[in-house]
């Protein structure tokens, strides 16, 4: 009886404390909430950094780390948004889109505010305050259980690597795909059931430049994968339709060979743009099953979601990063070792730019390289205006945002000539990737040179520029075919 009374009293006390804590939280000021959020993010970041420095093989823990990272991105985005809003000056306002996500066309996202701006601002402010408290509650729940997670984490071996500053490390690693990477590795290490087909197939689908090849390259460099297969091949052909077994093998290059392995398992990487006819695919799989050992695997990447049907395992769909994750990435690439809090004006402009770039990794590197050359807020605003104009002009001319293979209009950010309304306009006709084997053939002129107008001898007619050179596998160089035009006021 005494135990029951004690349990009831304990429950009542616990509920009373919860009510008091909740009431206290509801009465805290925004400044107190931001300080609490910052403290929670520091604790969570420390655990995430420790987890990323260890070889964690438990899928449940990998999922938990992925959830922590997602909430960390969300928290930092909200923290930076409030800081930008609180530190804005009379000559610079942070776009309201930082606090209320727009569902409209990107080209129309930033229109002049209507006469009820003050009312909207108050509503957005209240919504932001409630969002801030919700994020704090989620992070507090995570941090409360983090001690047990950290104990389990200590049981996994460390990954041997040299320490990097965060901005240097991001330049040399894959960002935001930890969960997908572990999914692919788990598929490759899993044994195929006896009695069924001996060949596992994993489709990885997603739009152009989303990171499919990068994901596969990082998986293939993992020691667990290399030790599990005697041979890793990459298919370099263009079309599977007319491939015989011999032709297919001739079109494959060896990425890795494990001579010490007693197993004969083979991993084949196939990268195609679209889909494959069912008959051609079935013929390829049937031939491969006869000549490849049990446990061999195929990874096929494509832009077409139709390829999902060929998988023997659940396909992996890659999509753009969330706006919170993308801002975290862009901020580090943009500011490097510099503390963004020392430049509140530039940070607010950078947040708006991050929204305009729609999750593009390449755009992040290009814009960051452009902005780092000039830390003037006036120049940064000009870059932001040009980015908006780029989206709007292409939308107006083409009827929708340009798809792959469609020419795009782009402004040079260099100022107009004195006394003239003429502006340099160049047309991006198409783009292609160049592998590391042909690095000597990449153009000397970069897209940053073109945008900033710093190139001394601008070419005439059609020419190629280096858009971006990746520092991580597969080390592609991305090249644009361009043509200079001169433009007066509007596109005719």
> pLDDT, tens digit, for every residue of 432-443?
888 776 556 788
Q: How far is CA 379 from CA 318, 370, 413, 473, in A?
A: 34, 10, 9, 33
**Percent of the residues in the chain that have a pLDDT greater than 90, as a whole number:** 22
Q: Is residue 340 in a domain?
A: yes
Q: Is the domain of 190 the same as that of 156?
A: no
pLDDT in tens, 451-464: 887 777 777 778 88
324 in helix, strand or coil? helix
Report the pLDDT value the prediction gives residue 88, as an integer from 0 to 100: 57
Q: Is the domain of 284 the same as that of 201?
A: yes
- Taking the CB of residue 227, how many other CB atoms lie within 10 A of it? 13
Q: Is the domain of 328 the same as that of 475?
A: yes
The last residue of a domain, from among 317, 347, 380: 317
Q: Is residue 429 in a domain?
A: yes
Q: Is residue 223 in a domain?
A: yes
Q: Which two tokens stand for residue 77?
A: 């985005």
198 in helix, strand or coil? coil
Report the pLDDT value the prediction gives residue 24, as an integer from 0 to 100: 47
Q: pLDDT higher for 152 or 92? A: 152
- Report yes or no: 216 and 204 within 8 Å, Cβ to Cβ: yes
Termini Cα distance of the chain: 88
pLDDT in tens, 350-403: 999 999 888 888 889 999 999 988 888 999 998 998 888 888 777 766 554 455
Tokens 């060979």 sit on residue: 257
Average pLDDT rounded to a whole number, residues 159-175: 57
Q: How far is CA 384 from CA 339, 380, 489, in A?
A: 21, 6, 19
**What are the backbone angles phi and psi of residue 465, rounded to the nearest 5°?**
-130, 155
- Report yes or no: 415 and 423 within 8 Å, Cβ to Cβ: no
Which of 428, 436, 429 shows the shortest CA–CA distance to 412? 428
Q: Is the domain of 357 the same as that of 263?
A: no
The last residue of a domain, from among 276, 298, 317: 317
Q: Is residue 2 in a domain?
A: no
- Report yes or no: 305 and 273 within 8 Å, Cβ to Cβ: no
- Taking the CB of residue 169, how many other CB atoms lie within 10 A of it? 15
61 in helix, strand or coil? helix
For the chain, helix (H) and strand (E) counts, in that order, are 16, 10
Q: Is residue 258 in a domain?
A: yes
Q: Is residue 394 in a domain?
A: yes
Rounded Cα gap, residues 82 and 489, in angstroms: 37
262 in helix, strand or coil? coil
221 in helix, strand or coil? coil
Q: How far is CA 262 from CA 254, 287, 298, 435, in A?
A: 18, 23, 20, 32
Q: Is residue 6 in a domain?
A: no
Confidence (pTM): 0.77
- Report yes or no: 198 and 297 within 8 Å, Cβ to Cβ: no
Please give the tally of structural domains in the chain.
3
Q: Is the dihedral of CA 108, 109, 111, 117 positive or negative?
A: positive
Report the pLDDT value the prediction gives residue 256, as an integer from 0 to 100: 87
User: Of the ranges 114-128, 223-237, 367-381, 403-417, which one carries the lowest mean pLDDT score?
Assistant: 114-128
Q: Is the domain of 64 the same as that of 154?
A: yes
Q: Which two tokens stand for residue 490?
A: 């509007």
Q: Is the domain of 294 the same as that of 415?
A: no
Q: Is residue 213 in a domain?
A: yes
Q: Is the domain of 157 the same as that of 58?
A: yes
Q: List, in sequence order, every residue forming a beta bridge with 416; answer none if it has no partner.
A: none
Q: Is the domain of 363 the same as that of 402?
A: yes
- Report yes or no: 437 and 426 within 8 Å, Cβ to Cβ: no
Report the pLDDT value the prediction gives residue 89, as an integer from 0 to 100: 44
Torsion-angle region of residue 428: left (phi > 0), alpha (psi -120 to 50) or beta? beta
Q: Is the domain of 96 the same as that of 205?
A: no
Mean pLDDT score of the chain, rounded to an integer? 77
Report the pLDDT value the prediction gives residue 106, as an integer from 0 to 100: 37
Longest dimension (CA), the chain: 94
**What are the backbone angles phi and psi of residue 269, rounded to the nearest 5°?**
-105, 120
Q: Is the domain of 307 the same as that of 414?
A: no
pLDDT value at 113 more than 60? no
pLDDT value at 23 more than 60? no
pLDDT value at 211 more than 50? yes
Q: Is the domain of 306 the same as that of 377?
A: no
Q: Domain residues for 204?
A: 178-317
Local confidence band at 116 (pLDDT 50, 70, 90 cut-offs)? very low
Report the pLDDT value the prediction gives residue 12, as an integer from 0 to 100: 46
**Percent of the residues in the chain that have a pLDDT greater than 70, as a whole number:** 75
- Report yes or no: 479 and 378 within 8 Å, Cβ to Cβ: no
pLDDT value at 86 more than 60? yes
**Length of the chain, please?**
492
The last residue of a domain, from among 257, 291, 317: 317
Rounded Cα gap, residues 243 and 235, in angstroms: 11
CATH number, domain containing residue 277: 3.40.50
Q: Is the domain of 158 the same as that of 24?
A: yes
């Amino acid at each position: 009886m005494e135990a029951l009374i004690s349990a009831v009293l304990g429950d009542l006390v616990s509920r009373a404390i919860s009510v008091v804590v909740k009431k206290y939280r509801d009465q805290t000021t925004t400044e107190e909430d931001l300080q609490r959020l910052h403290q929670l993010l520091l604790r969570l970041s420390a655990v995430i950094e420790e987890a990323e420095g260890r070889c964690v093989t438990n899928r449940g823990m990998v999922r938990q780390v992925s959830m922590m990272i997602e909430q960390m991105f969300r928290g930092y985005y909200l923290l930076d948004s409030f800081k930008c809003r609180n530190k804005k000056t009379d000559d610079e306002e942070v776009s309201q889109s930082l606090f209320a996500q727009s569902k409209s066309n990107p080209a129309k996202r930033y229109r002049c505010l209507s006469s009820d701006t003050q009312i909207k601002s108050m509503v957005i402010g209240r919504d932001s305050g409630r969002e801030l408290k919700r994020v704090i509650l989620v992070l507090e729940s995570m941090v409360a259980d983090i001690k047990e997670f950290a104990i389990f984490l200590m049981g996994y071996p460390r990954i041997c690597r040299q320490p990097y500053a965060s901005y240097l490390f991001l330049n040399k690693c894959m960002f935001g795909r930890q969960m997908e990477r572990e999914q692919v590795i788990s598929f490759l290490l899993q044994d195929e059931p006896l009695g069924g087909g001996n060949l596992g197939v994993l489709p990885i689908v997603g739009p152009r430049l989303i990171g499919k090849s990068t994901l596969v390259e990082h998986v293939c460099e993992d020691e667990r994968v290399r030790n599990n297969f005697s041979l890793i091949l990459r298919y370099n052909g263009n079309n599977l339709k007319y491939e015989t077994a011999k032709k297919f093998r001739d079109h494959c290059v060896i990425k890795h060979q494990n001579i010490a392995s007693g197993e004969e398992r083979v991993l084949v990487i196939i990268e195609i743009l679209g889909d494959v006819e069912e008959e051609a695919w079935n013929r390829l799989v049937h031939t491969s099953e006869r000549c490849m050992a049990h446990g061999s695997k195929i990874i096929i990447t494509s832009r077409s979601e139709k390829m999902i049907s060929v998988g023997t395992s659940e396909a992996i769909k890659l999509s753009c990063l969330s706006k919170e994750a993308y801002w975290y990435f862009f901020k580090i690439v943009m500011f490097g070792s510099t503390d963004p809090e020392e430049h509140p004006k530039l940070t607010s402009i950078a947040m708006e730019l991050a929204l305009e770039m729609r999750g593009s990794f390449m755009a992040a590197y290009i814009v960051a390289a452009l902005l780092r050359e000039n830390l003037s807020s006036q120049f940064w605003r000009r870059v932001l205006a040009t980015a908006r104009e780029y989206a709007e002009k292409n939308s107006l001319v083409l009827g929708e945002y340009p798809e792959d293979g469609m020419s795009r209009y782009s402004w040079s950010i260099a100022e107009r000539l004195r006394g003239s309304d003429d502006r340099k306009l160049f047309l991006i006709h198409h783009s292609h990737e160049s592998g590391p084997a042909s690095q000597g053939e990449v153009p000397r002129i970069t897209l940053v040179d073109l945008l900033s107008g710093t190139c001394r001898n601008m070419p005439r007619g059609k020419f190629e520029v280096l858009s971006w050179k990746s520092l991580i596998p597969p080390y592609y160089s991305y090249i644009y075919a361009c043509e200079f035009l001169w433009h007066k006021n509007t596109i005719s």
